[in-house]
Structure 1
Amino acid sequence: MTHPLIHPQFDPVAFHVFGWPIHWYGLTYLAAFGLFLWLANVQVSRPWNAQRGWTRQGVDDLLFFGVLGVVLGGRMGYVLFYKPGEFLKHPLDIFAVWQGGMSFHGGLLGVIVALAFFGWRRGFKFFEVADLVAPCVPTGLAMGRLGNFINGELWGRPADASVPWAMIFPQAHDQIPRHPSQIYQFLGEGVLLFIILWLFSRKPRPMAAMSGLFLIGYGAFRFAAEYFREPDEFLGLRWFGWSQGQWLSAPMVVAGLLMMIWAYRRVRGVGTPSVART
């Protein structure tokens, strides 16, 4: 019989600066933004992106708007999608982001608004901005899931005793071996999705194809991972036995497929790939 692993119970505070606690969760966000900046600068150096007018200064400005979209959208998404009643009773808790509680789907909506505003200010079409951003996002998602694992939160569903990496999470207040679903999501939504998108981005693609592939990939990986992730206790499973995360992810796959179909049909319609602005 395999003995389950025990979550290491990391101290959520990495270190202190002048007595001020610096949390691992915050550091993972900092790492996510740093990785985005590095990868986006690689993207703008590619000829087809340079032809569209992208510069390194543009990436710096885009990061600023993106950070606002991620933080504000992610927090508000968590509040609205997962715990509206609780935050209505304690509205000041909305600002306690250091306690965790961010929604990817809310963050995505926030980023969409931020990208649209940035594109409007700089004269880019929305999908010109979104396509540049898409392959740079999964590493940030991976960092977020790493932060979830360090905090011992968002643990998985009970695992069969034969699973060698099954893990007991003391925060669950039981001794049940569970799937380390944070690691599954780290590998799927983070590492694998990054590899797929980065390889796809090595050649010029029709406008909106990259964004569509991101939605398909993230939606599919997240939908699959939800079968191993413990549903939120206050929500449980919903229609068809799907979790809230699955209901939010399924439309992403559909939207991504429609976007890719539109992108490639548009190319066939005009006869040449949409590399430069049209």
Structure 2
Amino acid sequence: MLVHPQFDPVALNLGFLQIHWYGLTYLAAFGLFYWLATRRIRQPPYAAGGWTPREVEDLLFYGVMGVILGGRLGYVLFYKPAYYLANPGEIFAVWKGGMAFHGGLLGVIAAMAVFAWVRKKRFFEVTDLVAPCVPTGLACGRVGNFINGELWGRAADASVPWAMVFPQSGSEIARHPSQVYQFLLEGLLLFVILWFYGRTRSAHSRPDGSVVWGRVSGLFLIGYGAFRFIAEYFREPDSFLGLLALNLSMGQWLCVPMVVAGMGIWVWAGRRA
């Protein structure tokens, strides 16, 4: 049975300044996004669309704002609405933790819509560019979760060789390292699927040669929703929520409309004239 290494959450302490591992994982996520996006704009059909690295920089800025604002508001509205209604001043206390992926996703969608409107580009052209560049950032976030020993998994059978005790949970129960599962599924595996699918001809064109926008975005919603739904079976539900209807967690219920919307977008993109 393994025991969580109990990393110091502070990566670098300069006395007057503390740099946390979680902050470094966010920087790595944004850096990877920029690196991948600047390569994606060289691929068809973006290579013929006049995209520039400067536009990718602006897109990253919009995305960062969407992640932070949407992630925080999503946590407030989806997970603890009653608490923050009673303590509205705590909404802005982001240093105390509390971010929700599904809220961050909605924030990014809104940010991409604004970017597309300002730059006079198609909405799904923008989201198809972004989608394959996102999973590596999600993987970085799960590394931060593991270093902090948070979002631990449910109790695991003793026969699971990688079961791990997380002292932060307040128990000596061996648990699934669900952060690692999510790193592998919604991070690495989803990235491989989207990156290679996004480079295929079928992702962006019809048999007649016309351009299709939306399929990559739809596949992202399907893939993330499905992988997160699976991973939630191994992740300990939030103590203040527990399991909801049908013994599903809040994370699983939020994934259901993602998968449905992704399927709808993928089919609609292929049929749209």
Q: TM-score, normalised by structure 1?
A: 0.92
Matches within 5 A, 1:1-278: 4-17=1-14, 19-204=16-201, 205=204, 206-266=212-272, 270=273
One-letter code of the match for 1:167?
M
TM-superposed deviation, 1:152: 0.6
The answer to which of 27-36 and 44-53 deviates more is 44-53
Deviation per CA, 1:92-148: give whole Å up to 9, x if none: 333332333210000000001100000000001110100000000000000111111
Question: Residue 227 of structure 1: SS of its match in structure 2?
Answer: coil
Q: Distance in 2 between matches of 1:12 and 1:67?
A: 22
The alignment yields a C-alpha RMSD, in angstroms, of 1.2
Question: Residue 22 of structure 1: SS of its match in structure 2?
Answer: strand
One-letter code of the match for 2:182?
Q
Kept in 2, the 8 Å contact 1:26–1:98? The answer is no
In structure 2, what is the equivalent of residue 273 of structure 1? none
Q: Distance in 1 between matches of 2:248 and 2:226?
A: 14
Q: TM-score, normalised by structure 2?
A: 0.94
Deviation per CA, 1:143-192: give whole Å up to 9, x if none: 11111111111100000000000001111101100000011000000000
Kept in 2, the 8 Å contact 1:179–1:228? The answer is yes
Kept in 1, the 8 Å contact 2:44–2:199? The answer is no
Q: Gapped runs of 5+ residues in structure 1? A: 271-278
TM-superposed deviation, 1:251: 1.0
Question: Residue 153 of structure 2: SS of its match in structure 1?
Answer: coil
Q: Gapped runs of 5+ residues in structure 2? A: 205-211
Question: Residue 15 of structure 1: SS of its match in structure 2?
Answer: strand
TM-superposed deviation, 1:215: 0.2
Q: How many residues align?
A: 264
Question: Residue 187 of structure 1: SS of its match in structure 2?
Answer: helix
The answer to which of 112-121 and 7-16 deviates more is 7-16
Question: Residue 174 of structure 2: SS of its match in structure 1?
Answer: coil
TM-superposed deviation, 1:18: 5.6
Question: Residue 230 of structure 1: SS of its match in structure 2?
Answer: coil
Q: Distance in 2 between matches of 1:203 and 1:8?
A: 42
The answer to which of 111-120 and 252-261 deviates more is 252-261
